[in-house]
A and B are shown apart, each in its own frame.
Chain A
Amino acid sequence: MSTQSIRTKFLGTETSFSVSGAWLSYWILLLRLTAGWWMLHAGLDKIWAWPFDASWFVGGAAQGTILAPFVTPFSDGILLSFVNVAVPLGQTAIGLGIILGVLTRTAAFFGAFLMLFFYFINGYGGGWAHGMVTGELLGIMVFGTIVALGAGGILAVDNRLREMGPFENTRLRKLLG
């Protein structure tokens, strides 16, 4: 088992610390499996109980929140129909992507994006009674960790995708983990 030495300059000072390579890989994988299942379960639950109606959330809970100007336009008509399909399918795709390591960084980015709405709308709805650090904010941090670490290198389909033609393009490689 090897130990990796991290040496970098951060906040104007030289920083160094060591991490166990095996433990880092193990922990990233566990992080992916738990965060991925979180999203996959949320998506499949909605698909199992189809039809899903998000109007209570985008049209009701979001009212009066900091995100209302961006969310309430989606509370009826074709935009609501879009949300009703996009949320369950999106959550399922995000969950599968993170668990299997397919376009891992992209999946985690959208996981954080989705969680941002849950964080602020649920937070406002509850009057922030449980403080500003909630499960949703920690979810954003977990997905952010997966994005920052490029966690798709471990037991992931991304390792295969990386060898394929389209992903030799530098920009598209960034979508992988």
Chain B
Amino acid sequence: MSDLTTADEIAMYVGGGLVVLGVVVIGLLDMLLGAGHPVDSEGAIEHAAVVPIDIRAGIILLGLVVWGLVAVYKFATGSAPSGATAGRAASGMDD
């Protein structure tokens, strides 16, 4: 069963999608397609950025902002708490 609202889905898929795109997918592309893999003074391998770092950071920022806006929206609309959220004793309290 699923009790996701449209706002929940936007947060999960759009917000989370952008964060995963910025952090993981572009990171993988940089590693696979980035030219040159020099080792820096700390021993880390540097990958030339395939996607400009500003754009990558912007994608992550957008994802985080979507999460934040949905959180504010969910508070503003006052819909009933769902899932493992407020109003219920947290799991394990009665164990």
Q: Interface on A for B, CB 8 Å cutoff? A: 1-2, 4, 7-10, 19-26, 28, 66-67, 105, 109, 112-113, 116, 120, 123-124, 128-129, 131-133, 137, 140, 144, 147-154, 158-159, 162, 169-171, 173-177
Contacts and interface: CB of A to CB of B under 8 A. Distances in A.
27 contacts: A2-B92, A2-B95, A8-B2, A19-B91, A21-B91, A23-B92, A24-B92, A25-B91, A25-B92, A66-B57, A66-B58, A112-B68, A120-B61, A123-B57, A129-B40, A132-B22, A132-B60, A148-B84, A150-B81, A150-B85, A150-B86, A151-B90, A153-B88, A153-B89, A159-B89, A170-B81, A176-B86
A105 B86 contact: yes
A4 B53 CA distance: 42
B34 interface: no
A61 to B, nearest CB: 15
Nearest to B76: A171
B14 to A, nearest CB: 13
**Secondary structure dominating the interface of A:** helix
Interface residues of B, number: 37
A132 B57 contact: yes
Interface-central residue, B2, B53, B91, by most chain A CB under 10 Å? B91
A153 B2 CA distance: 23
B77 to A, nearest CB: 8
A177 B93 contact: no
